[in-house]
Chains A and B, each alone.
Chain A
Amino acid sequence: MNLRINLTLICFICSIIGLVLIYLAAINLQPIKVELSEISFDLIGRSVTSEGKIVYKKVHSAGHLFLTLEARRSKIQVPIFAGLMNKLREKGITEENFSVGDKLVIAGLVSEYRGQLQIIPRKVEDIRLNHVS
């Protein structure tokens, strides 16, 4: 009985220590900085930061915003899903603030949708917009 309690306690402590270490590593690990042209299928599943000019913008009826970024003739899609758009609206950023020609610094996970590469931002801090005056 005592052995069982001890093992339970050991496992619980190991779980907590492990979670704390993973969490600390996660918050300290910055996304890889890459040029838009360097993003390839090899980076799928990785977190990256990149920047480019908005060359296409589409507002979806479900509340999503689909952007295409371009830099040095390389393009990548940036879907901003409804959940994140709602959070951006709370900060005073709406679809109207994203205009074709604006510079966007984006962080997110590289993934693939229908053969196209995309960067998916997941939180407000992942999006930095620089307006072109």
Chain B
Amino acid sequence: MFLETLIFCLAGIGIGIFAGVVPGMHINTLLPSILFLGIVFKFQPYSLAVLIVSTAITEIFVNFISSIFIGAPEADTALSVLPGHRLLLEGRGYEAIKLAVIGGIGALIATLFLLSFFAQAFKILYKISRPWIHWLIIAVIIFMIVSEKGKRKMISASLIILLSGFLGIITLNSSLVNQQNVLFPVLTGLFGLPTLIVSISQRASIPKQARDESLKISNKEIIKSIILGSIAGIIVGFLPAIGISEAATMVQYLGGRGEARSFLVTLSGINVGNEVFSLISLFLVGNPRSGASVAIQRVLSELTFWDVFYLIGVICFSAGIAGILTLFLGKRIPKYLEKVNYRVLCSCVIIFILTMIFALTGIFGLLIAFTSASIGLLCNYLGIRRSHCMGVLLVPTILFFANLNPLILSTLRI
């Protein structure tokens, strides 16, 4: 049993690295293949669950490499592109990766600690929170707008939220692109492509990366960010509809907004906290809250306390190995990046991303990416924060929970 667990754990870590590094590849994209492999090779249910958990955890850590170094994020790390890229261009790429790893490992410990004491409270909150979610998101949007300085910027922010919100309503509710892949062109267009285009137009180059491995952030700030990330991750885990990106947007505004380092720690914490809680919520409320936990529910059907205990062990082991591997890759990759012509590299990455978008989502995916990139670039030229583009997810979520979706879709005839 132990050896089998170890083998499947390492295999999951391997798949997780692949999913994390390749733009457009996500654990949810790979899950059907993993489940199919499980049926073909007749894997034991527990072995399959170990494979899924270790893949999911590793992907969270390694995905920061592709989002920070090449600006090709997944939905969960979309907001890391901006602060991560900023640090890379300051010669602190490795620090950005190190902060993400610290945030993830720290949040793993903090989440397990919080859940062991407050599991029952979360169970109650889960039941009573649902009717209020859209009001909470509306409050966040208002806060996002008024936090811009000056009337002109507030109007610009509202315009971006409207444009991205409309884009979200159409793309998330139509059959233009398979709904499983639709977030790839949308979020890469809003966050990744504008970063790369601006880098090319500003003739940016990756400066020599700092040799020192110190962190330019206080321990107090790290601990604060880890706790904030863990709590937000758990909230994402039990609140329906609030995704990692929405929670990260809220946290970005509520705690230390603008501080790239603390934000990276928090975002990584939210990702790990959410994955841990999603798994535990299977046991607590019998409701899966992530792609991986849906797959685990299908494999193990009923989760006992000891199953959860076993899978937490797998999470801890995978997180440890994934953290080390991410740090290893995070140290090597910037050294190669500083040797190449960054403009050429950005152009190659844009071509690669567009090819992936076309392969996964076809011509409509390219049209969505073009439109999203235009909205993302508009933020740059209007001088406002690009996180307003999260309207693409926030607006459709409000409509869904306010029961306005049928009315809007009928009116728009989508």
Judge if B364 is at the interface, Cβ distance under 8 Å. Answer: yes
6 residue pairs from A and B, CB less than 8 Å apart? A11-B377, A21-B367, A26-B174, A47-B174, A82-B403, A123-B409
Given known contacts A11-B378, A46-B178, A18 and B371 CB-to-CB distance under 8 angstroms: yes
Residues of A1-20 contacting chain B, CB below 8 A: 4, 7-8, 11-12, 14-15, 18-19
Q: CA A46 – CA B166 in complex, angstroms?
A: 20
Cβ–Cβ < 8 Å partners of A71 in chain B: none
Query: Is the CB of B122 closer than 8 A to any CB of chain A?
Result: no
Interface residues of A (CB under 8 A from B): 4, 7-8, 11-12, 14-15, 18-19, 21-23, 25-27, 29, 31-32, 41, 44-47, 82-84, 86-87, 109, 111-112, 114-115, 122-125
- State A38–B404 Cα separation when bound (angstroms): 31
Name the distance in Å between B383's Cβ and chain A's nearest Cβ: 9
Q: Are A83 and B414 in contact (CB under 8 A)?
A: no
Closest residue of A by beta carbon distance from B178: A45
- Give complex CA distance A123, B169 in Å: 13
Shortest CB–CB separation between residue A106 and chain B, in angstroms?
Answer: 14
CA distance A115 to B62 in the complex (A): 28
In the complex, are the beta carbons of B404 and A26 less than 8 A apart? no
In the assembly, what is the distance between CA of A115 and CA of B413, in Å? Answer: 31
Task: List A contacts of B179 (CB < 8 A).
Answer: 44-46, 109, 111
Q: Is the CB of A122 within 8 A of B163?
A: no
Please, how many residues of chain B have a CB less than 8 angstroms from a CB on the other chain?
42
Residue in B closest to A43 when the chains form the complex, CB atoms: B178
Interface residues of B in 187-241 (CB under 8 A from A): none
B371 adjacent to A22 (CB under 8 Å): yes
Smallest Cβ-Cβ distance to A6: which chain B residue: B381
Is B150 on the interface with A (CB-CB < 8 A)?
Answer: no
Chain A residue nearest to B410 in the complex (CB): A123
B181 to A45, Cβ gap below 8 A?
A: yes
Query: Can you add 4 more A-B contacts, CB < 8 Å, to A26-B414, A45-B180?
Result: A27-B414, A46-B179, A47-B175, A122-B405
Answer yes or no: B167 CB below 8 A from chain A CBs. Answer: yes
Of A14, A45, A86, A125, which is within 8 A of B374 by CB?
A14
Q: Quick check: A114 and B406 within 8 Å, CB to CB?
A: no
B407 on the interface (CB 8 Å rule)?
A: yes
Asked if B170 and A26 sit within 8 Å, CB to CB, the answer is: yes
Residues of B within 8 A of A84 (CB): 405-406
B381 engages A86 (CB within 8 Å): no
Q: Which residues of B contact A29 (CB under 8 A)?
A: 174-176
Q: Are B403 and A86 in contact (CB under 8 A)?
A: yes
In B344-376, which residues have CB < 8 Å from any A CB?
Answer: 364, 367-368, 370-372, 374-375
Cross-chain contact B176 with A26 (CB below 8 angstroms): yes
For A45, the chain B residues whose CB sits under 8 A away are 178-182
